[in-house]
Chain A
């Protein structure tokens, strides 16, 4: 186990075990471009001392890296360097080398990485390193991993790195059983969380414990519809609903539940832009609307000043051009392409 005695505060030049090492300075060469103003001169404040120590520490690392020294002190040094500079992939790589060479305790390694993650959760190298460790620990690490990611997501529900890692863990070592429920909790907390909607889709399509998308479709449609009715201007459940019919548009068009939900939202005359969009897509896919749809769409707009096109899809594009004016040019283009999507 690594010694916790090296807390990174004492300069390496003053630590006995490093006396035999000559730090290898970085040679920027002649005429370096974008030189970085490492603070090495001037009267030293605590902050300036730390920055000076950064460069010196890196020089020690370069020495042991070039010499390929696989020793406990090298391992301790990588810990110090990672604290200072968690973005340096060379250090992480060397640390993996050392962990193997020294047959280090990988459970402790997970704890170390977690401490780094507490202040650096958006760091690719950290997550890659964690995957390397978990691969070696196997299913024993599963619960700990999923728990860690949950705690990071509780602070930042859309952390892309954490979500990517979670998907990897599920596929590599399992833990699918509670995942759908976890997605449900996240969406209860915040229905606008697109990451959670995506994760839900991921589970539906890839979990070995569910029947696949087609088998789950009916219940997922109901789930999406509930979300839509509660907040109709939330993009996520609309896209999710469409996604449930990926590669099976005909079933979408024939599902009366979807079209009738569009109608419900349009009839509220409130937050109906996304419902109009969905209805437009359905029409492009071949949906044959009854008169009720036409009446609902035009109701807020009918007047002599705004004559509407008899074709419902064209009318919807005209309306969207006005109510979704940020995308007016797009709706005009869509109208000109009709009946194609």
Chain B
């Protein structure tokens, strides 16, 4: 069992070293209680198979906690304890001058990259990461912590250090790939902190638009093949930034900064004959794209066009008798696909689940009356 960053799409499932038995025939309905048990088990203790994911510990926490919240089982979580734990990953500058030193004063993803402060109380080897920061803020909101009370200024000022000349974002100052995943993280962070000073929005928008492919979808970088995950990052970012309206398709907008008809057609074609969604043309259906592509359709106002019965049927073949969801039918579940399987069922308005905020990929707190 292996999992990745929330935005590490298209990963292969690593084989269990001890071999894996195949689950039996699919269950015919959404098994909420089994999923609660699955996420609850991982919340308490993660199997050693996840040790290679230590560097992304906050991401693992996001999936488990937000998963429990979607399932209306957040009572299993000690909210104060979680908030303290998440806040302890914050990278702190000594002073204002440090904010321009190139580093990002967001949240670390793990103690592995976080070291105790030296004798002057300075945190050394800072490696604040955009994806970890997104996860941190999402977890804090989920457990009811008011994120507007944290020192958001240092996050936003130092986030600018990560933006590249072409508008993309590097996730960590140490040097890493730059692509739409981190544009999305940056946009989601600004949105949650209600402050867009963390980025040059025009440049960000231009980078996103350069990622739209000839077939209407978006690649993760300009020139790359259209991809369900890349398309989600592009469309959700533009929506969060306010460059596209909600429910575009119902508004008969005659122009938009993106080619909406082509995008819509591309998304619609991603539903395959088995009812599931594929991430790219002519690839197999995979649980998580029911969210990545489904959420794009929801944002555009086109979710109503999909065949929900067929999708539900596919997702149930990926539902595990052990709780959780697998990438492909009748395989073992992993945390990443379990989370996105639940978000997909929330999009399908499955009873017993919280409503989903498609743009943030978590429970719609506003719809629940929680701001």
Contacts and interface: CB of A to CB of B under 8 A. Distances in A.
Interface in A181-223: 192-195, 198-199, 201-202, 206
B94 interface: no
A179 B213 CA distance: 19
Interface stretch (B200-208, B286-294, B303-311): B303-311
B52 interface: yes
Contacts of A47: 17
Interface string A119-140: 0001011011000100000000
Interface in B1-47: 4, 8-12, 17, 42-43, 45-47
Given A31-B85, A164-B221, A327-B271, A88 B112 contact: yes
A194 B175 contact: no
Given A122-B12, A327-B271, A167 B223 contact: yes
A115 interface: no
Contacts of B310: 326
Identify which of B51, B61, B302 gathers the most chain A CB atoms within 10 Å of its CB.
B51
B127 interface: yes
A73 interface: no
A330 B264 CA distance: 10
B125 A128 contact: no
Contact of A28 (B48, B111, B271, B281): B111
B84 A31 contact: yes
A39 interface: yes
B167 to A, nearest CB: 17
Contacts of A66: 115, 124-125
B197 interface: no
Contacts of B84: 31
B55 A88 contact: yes
B243 interface: no
Interface of B: 4, 8-12, 17, 42-43, 45-48, 50-57, 60-61, 64-65, 78, 81-82, 84-86, 88, 111-113, 115-116, 124-125, 127, 172, 174-177, 179, 213-216, 219-221, 223-227, 261, 265-266, 268-269, 271, 273, 275, 280-283, 302, 304-307, 310
Interface in A1-48: 24, 26-29, 31-39, 47
B323 to A, nearest CB: 16
12 contacts: A58-B112, A89-B172, A93-B175, A160-B224, A167-B221, A193-B282, A194-B225, A198-B213, A240-B215, A326-B310, A327-B305, A329-B304
B268 A85 contact: no
Contacts of A193: 282
Contacts of B216: 239
Contacts of A58: 54, 112
Given A33-B85, A194-B283, A195-B280, 8 more contacts: A29-B85, A31-B81, A37-B47, A65-B125, A89-B176, A167-B221, A199-B225, A244-B214
Contacts of B125: 65-66
Nearest to B264: A330
Contacts of B172: 89
A66 B127 CA distance: 12
Given A33-B82, A33-B85, A194-B281, A124 B48 contact: no
Nearest to A325: B307
Contacts of B175: 93, 96, 128, 132
A42 B226 CA distance: 48
Contacts of B124: 66
A339 interface: no
A246 interface: yes
Given A34-B46, A90-B127, A164-B220, A124 B177 contact: yes
Contacts of A85: 52, 54-55
Contacts of B8: 124
A277 B254 CA distance: 21
Nearest to B8: A124
A242 B226 CA distance: 15
B103 to A, nearest CB: 12
Contacts of B11: 122
B45 A35 contact: yes
